[in-house]
Homo-oligomer: A and B are copies of this chain.
């Protein structure tokens, strides 16, 4: 099995169960690999798997966010495209965010650099759209942070309240959050 293929399956386990909940049994099940085989691909065990997962996520954020958010179409249309992608990725608000999962717990101590970088990739890409729309750089950064923070918070409410309406509202308001005062 290709390493990337394994990583894709590992992501889901860490996303759903968090770092502590991602047991070797679950990671083994999700990949179809025995525990010993996992150690063949990731000699440092669980910690290396999580690190690989975060590397992969950063890569995918760069591909999946930076490219569409820098396309030559109008800024508002880029944001609508992203909102659509985000809606699909989080299964309309029913899926937790891996970065939030890891950032909240102890795992943040170990993976802080990687979590920070991944968040910044996303925030920077969003801020770039606002800048393209004529927003001043510092303001654009703050609005991009607001957008991410609203997405993250709405995912918590979605899980906690069992209601994805706040998530949908946040996505619908996304162009406004970034481009309007």
Residues of chain A at the chain B interface (Cβ within 8 Å): 16-18, 20-21, 96, 99-101, 103-106, 108, 112, 115-116, 119-120, 142, 145-146, 148-154, 156-157, 159-162, 166, 169-170
Contact = CB atoms under 8 A, between A and B. Distances in A.
Given A149-B154, A157-B149, A21 B166 contact: no
Chain A interface helix/strand/loop/mixed: helix
Contacts of A18: 18, 20, 104-106
A103 B160 contact: yes
B20 A160 contact: no
Contact of A106 (B17, B146, B148, B154): B17
A17 B105 contact: yes
